[in-house]
Structure 1
């Protein structure tokens, strides 16, 4: 395949993967629904930077080396699974508390004086969720090793990085934007406790499964 075909194939596979439900998708849905557009956009930026770093590490072969080292990869799985389980536990705990003490969800709960901190926290949460997800590491190692030839030009590899980052930012930003429109957010905020519960279950299920895999790898 020539470089144009490779880049188009790379973009198509990556975009399909972005739309698949997972931790990244759930994080944007949960937070854009609950805290509004700005939080959703900063989470989108964090996720996209995480994807960019995964892509860069895969292109340079660093991720491949990590994946081929059983103990190191198991430790990464342990950290990633624990983090996702932590997110799930937090979401489910908050859901339980809100069901016991219902409050008014008709307005976003972010206070103005917390807005700056929330930007940083949103970016950090998005970045950590993606970069600590071992499934993302495996995906990009597989994607890059199967599609991007070692002899591909530096310009072609640079364009690939731009495409992966750009598509990620576009998709997650669009998702955050749509979920935070005034009319839709008013409806979604009323159902936010259920959205939190579903997202909590997604985080917990994926996190616990990764955690168990990492323990089995270390023990075995």
Structure 2
């Protein structure tokens, strides 16, 4: 299989994985819907750089070494599960607070309880969510080891990294843009509390599943 075919296969598999619902997808949906396009874009940027780092670590073999050492991998699982649980509980607390104050409309932009008050925080939220996801680590190990041969040229590997990063940024940016258009905001505005609740339950559920998986392995 030549390098062009390898890169096309890599791009196809990765793009299908990107469209699958998961923590990254939910994070963009939740924040682009609630806070707008700019926040959604910087979360997309953070997610794409998290994916780039996962790709580099997998391509260089670092992720494989981590995965082969149960103690190191368990630490990543604990960190990732705890962070997802933190995101989920935060979203659910916000839903509860908004539900309690539903008869007192507030301007979300001036709500001091919001954590994503800057571009840096939005980028950090996206990057951390992706890089601490142990399932992403396993996915990229499998992706790189099964599709990208060790004999592939340096240029080919750099192109693979570029494809993975650019596809990730393009998809999550498009998602943020689509969800933050004026028409979509009008449609989703009244449902934002339910979107937050759903995302909060998703984050919490995934976090608990990962932590329980770690406990069951001991």
SS of 2:109 mapped into structure 1? coil
Partner of 1:148: 148
Mapped partners of 1:89, 1:43: distance in 2: 19
Q: Is the 8 A contact 1:42 1:123 kept in 2?
A: yes
| Superposed displacement of residue 85, structure 1 | 0.6
Partner of 2:186: 186
SS of 1:110 mapped into structure 2? helix
Matched, 1:22 2:29: no
| Superposed displacement of residue 58, structure 1 | 0.2
| Superposed displacement of residue 36, structure 1 | 0.2
Which structure 1 segments of 5+ residues have no match?
A: none
Change (3 A) 1:135 1:115: closer
Q: Is the 8 A contact 1:18 1:171 kept in 2?
A: yes
Q: Is the 8 A contact 2:85 2:203 kept in 1?
A: yes
Q: Is the 8 A contact 1:78 1:215 kept in 2?
A: no
Partner of 1:110: 109
Q: C-alpha deviations, 1:30-84, integer Å up to 9, x for none?
A: 0000000000000000000000000000000000000010111011000000000
Which structure 2 segments of 5+ residues have no match?
A: none
**What are the residue-to-residue correspondences of 1:32-47 with 2, within 5 Å?**
32-47=32-47
Mapped partners of 1:123, 1:41: distance in 2: 8
- State the TM-score, normalized to the length of structure 1: 0.94
Q: Is the 8 A contact 2:42 2:122 kept in 1?
A: yes
Q: C-alpha deviations, 1:190-220, integer Å up to 9, x for none?
A: 1100000000011011111001112222xx2
Mapped partners of 2:199, 2:186: distance in 1: 19
Aligned residues: 216
Mapped partners of 1:179, 1:110: distance in 2: 17
Mapped partners of 2:214, 2:82: distance in 1: 10
Q: Is the 8 A contact 2:39 2:116 kept in 1?
A: no
Change (3 A) 1:33 1:164: same
SS of 1:191 mapped into structure 2? helix
Q: Is the 8 A contact 1:74 1:215 kept in 2?
A: no
RMSD: 1.8
Mapped partners of 1:75, 1:115: distance in 2: 26
Partner of 2:75: 75
Q: Is the 8 A contact 1:3 1:152 kept in 2?
A: yes
Q: Is the 8 A contact 2:45 2:169 kept in 1?
A: yes
SS of 2:150 mapped into structure 1? coil
SS of 2:118 mapped into structure 1? helix
Q: C-alpha deviations, 1:137-183, integer Å up to 9, x for none?
A: 00000000001100100000000000000000000000000000011
